[in-house]
Amino acid sequence: MNGGLPIAISVALALEYEDVLFRPAMLAQGWASQEQVSAVLDDILAQAVLVQPIRSRRRPALPDPADDLVLECALEANAEAIVTMNVRDFAGAKETYAMTILKPGDLVARLRKEQQ
């Protein structure tokens, strides 16, 4: 991935991201146009490692079924961590699967510390 952070994605998770990001309510917030969102999403997906197929479903594991998609993808990819603002809802993943859950700012702080 050109020296960057690896991103794991499954087909189901990519479709979930697309569904959420293109909802009229999201686009109505005006933070980005549909074309801009599409370009960023396309770039992220082009850099991601496709995890397919998900061999073992672990649902329901978390309060939100969409979060289960993230957890399954991370576990299947043997990811070191899940980076999310939704740390509270991933508490079960931390306890049950010993998965590290980080907020984006915490990831940046760790990376800076490692570079020192």
Cis-peptide into 60, omega within 30 deg = yes
For 13-17, the CB contacts below 8 A with 24+ separation are 13/69, 13/70, 13/73, 14/45, 14/48, 16/66, 16/69, 17/41
Per the confidence metrics, is the pTM higher than 0.85? no
- Provide the pairing of β-strand 100-102 with 8-9: unpaired
**pLDDT tens column, 17-38:** 999 999 999 889 988 899 999 9
The confidence score (pLDDT) of residue 95 equals 83
**pLDDT tens column, 74-97:** 999 999 999 999 999 998 888 889
Q: How confident is the model at residue 1 (pLDDT cuts 50, 70, 90)?
A: very low
What letter would DSSP give residue 2? T
Once rounded to an integer, what is the mean pLDDT over residues 86-115? 90
